[in-house]
Amino acid sequence: MAVYIYWFLLALVMLGLEMATGTFYLLVLSVAMAVGGSAALLDASVAWQLTLCALAAVAGTLVLRLWKNAHFNKVADASLDVGQPVQVEAWHENGTARVLYRGAAWDAEPESADMPREGMLYIKEMRGSSLVLTHRKP
């Protein structure tokens, strides 16, 4: 059997394993092995086949890492508390407030100094254990 057939069979095995795990890293390896198989199909030497396979694996892993970091940071920043209404118990002289939210008292600060203090206020974001309030529902 020709060498490229082994490359493509390995790529299919990695693709099957990827479908079982869902990590995307085995998909990168599957594509890298297909690149090695394509090089074998074009009669490249074994050294070139392995080199192209390794380069495709490294490049694919780096691209996947960058994509995952960008994607999951957006998801991690999304909070279920954003947009929820709060009841202000008291405003302090330094501009901060004490609000009642989820049955507990929280420290809060307005999004801007000229924000209206009356009416319904909403959570814009969370900074540690402090809430940032806005008068518009996000």
pLDDT tens for residues 72-119? 665 555 577 788 888 888 888 888 888 888 888 888 988 887 777 777
Domain total of the chain: 2
Q: Which of 28, 55, 77 is the last residue of a domain?
A: 77
Residue 61 and residue 120 in one domain: no
The pLDDT confidence band at residue 46, using thresholds 50, 70 and 90, is: very high
Query: What residues pair up with 121 in beta bridges, in sequence order?
Result: 86
Quick one: which of 19, 49, 20 has its CA closest to 34? 49
Identify residue 132 by its one-letter amino acid code: V
82 and 125 Cβ atoms separated by less than 8 Å: yes
Q: Which domain holds residue 47?
A: 3-77
DSSP three-state, residue 135: coil
Q: How far, CA to CA in Å, does 98 sit from each of 25, 47, 120?
A: 47, 68, 14
pLDDT at 1: 85
Residue 15 and residue 60 in one domain: yes
Residue 64 and residue 121 in one domain: no
Residue 39 and residue 55 in one domain: yes
